[in-house]
Chains A and B, each alone.
Chain A
Amino acid sequence: MPENDRNNKFKMIGKQSILFHNPPYIIGASSIAGKKEGEGPLGHLFDTVWEDPLLGQDTWEDAESEFMRQAAEKAIQKAGLSSNDIRYLLAGDLLAQLIASSFGVAELNIPFFGLFGACSTMGEALSIGSILIDGGFADKVLAVTSSHFAGAEKQFRFPLDYGNQRPYSASWTVTGSGAVVLSDQNSNSNGPSIRIKGITTGKIVDYGIKDTMNMGAAMAPAACDTIKTHLEDLNLKPDYYDKIITGDLGYVGSDILIDLLREYKIDVSSNHMDCGKEIFDPESQDTHAGGSGCACSAITFTGYVLKQLREGNWKRVLFLPTGSLHSKVSYNEGNTMPAIAHAVVVEAE
């Protein structure tokens, strides 16, 4: 990793990347998951697994808010802080007008920016949070995202009880919420400190895919673009990273990503990992292409990736949640699916 010259006024590097002068620390993280996620391969790593998809609420939307509230509180608690210590809260979800976020985090009383990046929102939140901290605009920032299978099905596809066949390329929206507390100082004395060294902000990339049941195919070119630009901006080879972790390309999208990058002479086949592929077992859980949703990359990151970094199994990862920015209206009106991927460099030291 090239060090950024501290005397340089700018922290920007290359075309669309940033290397932080004082890389923010990740001092707390939480993962709250639904039942199906709890039964998946990563189930034992999550802080809380809820059997009841409604969490005792009346509606799917309220349930998702509750997931988010619990994730936020858990992360703050694990960082040894209270909500008064947090300067900014960055949150987002998949529901229209971000209602899961607005209702979920209201009672925390933290200055709030709502973010929409579809399933890439955790990448967006970590990016902006790190900018706020390294810029000196905040000392503690909380990033939270959530998604809920039932709420997403209702909004984007069909009512839950409607009988239909899902294509193999369709993904399964993850129910849950993940939260990360970023700080200018490390408060975690035991184990390695985990820092966000830099970011590469994705552009909107649209290769003309219209099939909302194949989001991996729509998002793979965006992930390809961000990875390629990131490596060029920072002058790195892909093997610099122990893992290059995409958000929710799933089985179809991951294969496409590897194919596309190979054309640019970038080989990620040995260190690529996809959260959507990790979170479910497609054979026993019938999840087809894999997991998706804002919570997919969020809880895989907080539950699994950070653990690997903390335990020293990995030193450096490039975490890039991917998002498809379509809506039901844009789909019905015959539009393509614009996609995005935001990369975050996370290192243990």
Chain B
Amino acid sequence: MDKDKNVDVSKIVREKDVKTRNENYNQYVKQVTPKHSGFKNVLAAYLVGGIICTLGQFFINYYIYLGADKEMAKAYNTITLVFLSVLLTSVGIYQKLAKFGGAGTLVPITGFANSVAAPAVEYKKEGQVFGIGVNIFTIAGPVILYGIFSSWILGLIYYILKQFGVV
């Protein structure tokens, strides 16, 4: 850390204005708090995410080889990856993978499956309706809501452009 850039602690302790004091303190805390290495994280995410996607490609190829057409093979692949993710979540392996892989496990469909399976396991004790029913989408909910909402917006734009003959 660059010593010259350090926030002077006296600017926190002696500052009379609470807002300025808090700003100075937050800045100081930012400097003294250790962070994950960005480069290492990106590399791990690239590696793990890449492996998951390669696995997906392998499944698609395999289902085509078994005689499925391309669209069906993609659907089967999704089902397989989701199944694997839920399975790994239930035996406690996906969490360990995510700790290492970060966004590499979060972005593919397996991350989505994990975010649905985890609350389902956790809230089972609180019942089928108020437990699982209410809580299953606590993490995935925003993805679903804004996913649907943004596709609706895009659909609208597509419709308007089509009316004007642009697409």
Contact = CB atoms under 8 A, between A and B. Distances in A.
Contact of A154 (B10, B18, B105, B122): B122
Nearest to A255: B32
A162 B32 contact: no
A163 B106 contact: yes
Contacts of A256: 28-29, 32
A interface, size bucket: 20 to 34
A154 B36 CA distance: 24
Of listed A160, A165, A214, A260, residue having the most chain B CB within 10 A: A165
A168 B34 contact: yes
Of listed A159, A209, A255, residue having the most chain B CB within 10 A: A159
B90 A161 contact: yes
Given A160-B122, A207-B22, A260 B9 contact: yes
B95 A168 contact: no
Nearest to B41: A165
B34 A252 contact: yes
Contacts of B121: 159-161
Contacts of A47: none
B118 A162 contact: yes
Contacts of B59: none
Given A59-B125, A207-B22, A163 B99 contact: yes
Contact of B25 (A59, A161, A162, A221): A221
A165 B92 contact: no
B44 to A, nearest CB: 10
A137 interface: no
Contacts of A167: 33, 35-36
Interface string A91-134: 00000000000000000000000000000000000000000000
Majority SS of interface residues in chain A?
A: loop
Interface in A164-187: 164-169
B111 A263 contact: no
Contacts of A162: 95, 114-115, 118-119, 139
Of listed B13, B33, B99, residue having the most chain A CB within 10 A: B33
A217 interface: yes
Interface in B16-40: 18-19, 21-23, 25-26, 28-29, 32-36
Contacts, number: 103
Nearest to B105: A163
B139 A208 contact: no
A259 B14 CA distance: 13
Interface residues of B, number: 43
A166 B117 CA distance: 20
B82 interface: no
A164 B121 CA distance: 16
A3 interface: no
Contacts of B139: 158-159, 162
A161 B9 contact: no
Given A207-B25, A208-B25, A209-B26, A163 B32 contact: no
Nearest to B99: A165
Contacts of A252: 29, 32-34
Nearest to B34: A168
A165 B36 contact: yes
Given A159-B122, A162-B118, A168 B35 contact: yes
Given A159-B119, A162-B95, A163-B97, A208 B22 contact: yes
Given A159-B118, A162-B114, A164-B98, A169 B92 contact: no
Given A168-B36, A208-B23, A260-B13, A158 B29 contact: no
6 contacts: A159-B138, A163-B98, A164-B106, A214-B29, A255-B32, A259-B32
Given A163-B95, A165-B41, 10 more contacts: A159-B123, A160-B95, A160-B118, A165-B36, A167-B33, A167-B36, A208-B21, A208-B26, A255-B32, A263-B9
